[in-house]
């Protein structure tokens, strides 16, 4: 949530900040603003709404203004208006900052700061932090003795004092009017990286805002800060202990974050799934020997084979991938498995016994609830693996080991290629653990060979784009939909409903098809769309019965069926086919037409599919 970009260098800051904010807008788009350091004063421009609104009020570019910070907001505390937009200035006018995260004890701090004479203009928790830093900075001027900080050390000291007083999460970029040659960044629980170029630095929430300027960066860990100046940069903890950070190569390219002729990122990312899956699978599958090679966990596989129980924890789309994973682990590896919402797991007193493996799934690797669930699991002695996409992300660095998706950046808020890659990774892991426990070589070889062929089969589904668009056109004005599936396709029904809700704002409910008669069938009205995933599987006849129950009550059936299935046609008002595959691998195919259906419904209804209302891509706050 929220996007931060800050520039310190020799080039004009304003266009770099603006371009960076556009690249980060998928992280939040309620309001936006920049602060430029010019002629020993802050020039602040901010507004509610999209980056385009900010662009309209910015002045002509001043080539001599080479330092600035910017922010695009997803509102938490305070309405998404201009007053609450970032950057925020402290009560002295000397400190300005942008913030991603939540200050949990802001209420107590605000009352105390008001008593100390601080004034507030906004309703945000961020202004509390700005004023707290300003309070300590002003206080440092009055300190006596040799221990008093001097010069710009006062700025650094004030930031450290403030950060040691707050509870919550933050990614920060901070400037001080008295120290125009210094910029400070800090992180706890919210992502922040520092791109390092030639005589220039770019702070950002993720690499998309940095990659145009440099391919090298450092990733801050929790409770760390970095100070940049014309002399270079230093990294330390907020308790003033020096830390050494490794300079890493950014593993995305500029063309990966461009639309490249597509109308929307979601459309592009749906279309990228065949190639993304090929990259995810490449070098990891040994069909001949029926084995999987996952470098990030290879040296742990002997211990993982002795796993007695698996807990998969995630949020949103990743949670749906986890349900597919649950079925895979139990069927292929014969390991008891359960799936937990990370937002619930973190507040429970979960039973984590010896031999428990916890797998945390997150595209961004920064999901706040999932990170908290990881900490909960580690405290109880579990081995914790991460399945993430973003290299260097907090989850990747916090877990014991893990597997990267390797699908490139996913920018559309509604996750698509991350879901299929997450399912693919969980499939590979379940097959490998199964092979080491009881799965025959022939069975493993068959699954892996078929898995390698999935990308080609997705391409055949993508060829049905126009037909799927026509189905969306015929049903987009219906405000209530059902999505129904059985077995491995039950979580796909959940995912299809979520996609439709997220971007088209149509109310949709995903269910196991057998549960429909236990209440939800009461919702069926004439021409109400009911999407059935009715591929050839072990429960095929059962789901045909469920389709008939809906048709008998006047519902309109949209059926996802196996290519060549003639028997299903009389039961479908609208038919979409997918190539045949093994039942365990069907979710990798059946989810794709549901993504396309949701995309077209949203576009036809006139919505911005890449920036749906009230949502942001990476949920880094609770």
Active-site residue set: 2, 617
Report the SS3 class of residue 558. strand
d(CA 185, CA 205): 11
State the residue for tokens 């590979």: 428
Q: Would residue 240 be called left, alpha or beta, if left means φ above 0 and alpha means ψ between -120 and 50 degrees?
A: left
Beta pairing partners, 577: 561
Q: Quickly count: other Cβ atoms within 10 Å of residue 286's Cβ.
A: 13
Query: For 115-208, where are the E strands, in sequence order?
Result: 170-176, 182-188, 193-196, 201-204
In degrees and rounded to multiples of 5, residue 528 shows phi and psi of -70, 125
Tokens matching residue 365: 């690797």
State the residue for tokens 């945390």: 360
What sign for the dihedral angle of Cα 21, 25, 27, 31?
Answer: positive
Report the SS3 class of residue 534. coil
Residue 607 CA, chain-centre distance (Å), reads 21
In this structure, are residues 97 and 130 in contact, taking their beta carbons and an 8 Å threshold? yes
d(CA 26, CA 3): 8
How does 171-200 read in b/e, with b if 16+ C-beta sit within 10 Å? bbbbbbbebbebbbbbbbbbbbbbbbbeeb
Q: State how far the alpha carbon of 253 is from the alpha carbons of 6, 197, 396, in Å.
A: 20, 16, 20
């Amino acid at each position: 949530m929220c996007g931060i970009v800050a520039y310190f260098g020799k080039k004009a800051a304003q266009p770099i900040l603006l371009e960076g904010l556009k690249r980060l807008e998928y992280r939040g788009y309620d309001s936006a603003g920049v602060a430029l350091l010019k002629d020993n004063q802050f020039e602040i421009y901010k507004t509610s709404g999209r980056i385009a609104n900010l662009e309209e009020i910015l002045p002509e570019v001043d080539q001599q203004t080479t330092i600035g910070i910017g922010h695009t907001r997803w509102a938490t505390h305070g309405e998404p208006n201009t007053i609450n937009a970032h950057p925020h200035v402290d009560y002295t006018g000397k400190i300005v900052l942008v913030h991603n995260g939540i200050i949990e004890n802001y209420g107590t701090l605000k009352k105390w700061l008001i008593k100390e004479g601080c004034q507030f203009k906004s309703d945000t928790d961020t202004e509390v932090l700005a004023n707290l830093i300003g309070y300590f900075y002003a206080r440092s001027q009055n300190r006596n003795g040799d221990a008093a900080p001097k010069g710009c050390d006062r700025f650094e000291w004030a930031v450290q004092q403030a950060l040691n007083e707050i509870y919550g999460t933050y990614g920060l970029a901070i400037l001080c009017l008295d120290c125009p040659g210094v910029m400070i960044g800090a992180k706890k629980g919210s992502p922040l990286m520092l791109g390092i170029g030639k005589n220039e630095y770019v702070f950002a929430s993720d690499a998309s805002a940095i990659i145009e300027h440099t391919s090298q960066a450092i990733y801050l860990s929790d409770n760390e800060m970095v100070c940049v100046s014309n002399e270079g940069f230093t990294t330390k903890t907020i308790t003033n202990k020096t830390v050494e950070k490794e300079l890493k190569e950014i593993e995305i390219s500029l063309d990966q974050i461009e639309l490249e002729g597509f109308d929307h990122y979601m459309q592009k990312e749906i279309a990228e799934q065949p190639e993304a899956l090929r990259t995810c699978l490449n070098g990891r599958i040994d069909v001949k020997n029926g084995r999987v090679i996952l470098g990030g966990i290879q040296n742990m596989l002997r211990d993982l084979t002795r796993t007695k129980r698996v807990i998969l924890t995630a949020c949103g789309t990743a949670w749906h991938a986890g349900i597919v994973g649950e079925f895979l682990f139990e069927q292929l590896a014969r390991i008891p498995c359960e799936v937990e919402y990370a937002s619930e797991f973190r507040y429970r007193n979960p039973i984590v016994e010896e031999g428990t493996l916890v797998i945390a799934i997150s595209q961004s690797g920064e999901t706040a609830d999932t990170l908290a669930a990881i900490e909960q699991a580690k405290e109880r002695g579990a081995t914790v693996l991460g399945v993430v996409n973003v290299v260097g992300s907090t989850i990747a660095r916090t877990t014991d080991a893990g597997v990267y998706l390797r699908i490139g950046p996913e920018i559309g808020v509604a996750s698509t290629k991350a879901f299929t890659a997450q399912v693919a990774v969980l499939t590979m892991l379940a097959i490998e653990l199964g092979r080491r426990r009881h799965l025959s070589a022939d069975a493993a070889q068959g699954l892996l060979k078929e898995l390698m062929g999935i990308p080609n089969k997705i391409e055949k589904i993508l060829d049905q784009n126009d037909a799927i668009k026509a189905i969306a056109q015929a049903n987009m004005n219906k405000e209530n939909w059902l999505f129904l599936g059985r077995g491995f396709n039950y979580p796909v029904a959940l995912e299809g409903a979520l996609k439709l809700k997220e971007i088209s704002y149509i109310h949709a409910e995903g269910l196991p098809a057998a549960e429909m008669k236990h209440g939800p069938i009461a919702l069926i009205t004439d021409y109400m769309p009911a999407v059935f995933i009715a591929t050839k599987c072990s429960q095929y006849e059962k789901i045909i019965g469920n389709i008939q129950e809906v048709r008998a009550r006047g519902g309109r059936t949209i059926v996802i069926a196996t290519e060549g299935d003639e028997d299903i046609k009389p039961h479908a008002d609208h038919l979409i086919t997918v190539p045949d595959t093994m039942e365990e691998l069907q979710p990798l195919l059946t989810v794709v037409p549901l993504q396309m259906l949701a995309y077209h419904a949203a576009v036809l209804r006139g919505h911005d599919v890449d920036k749906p209302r009230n949502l942001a891509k990476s949920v880094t706050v609770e």
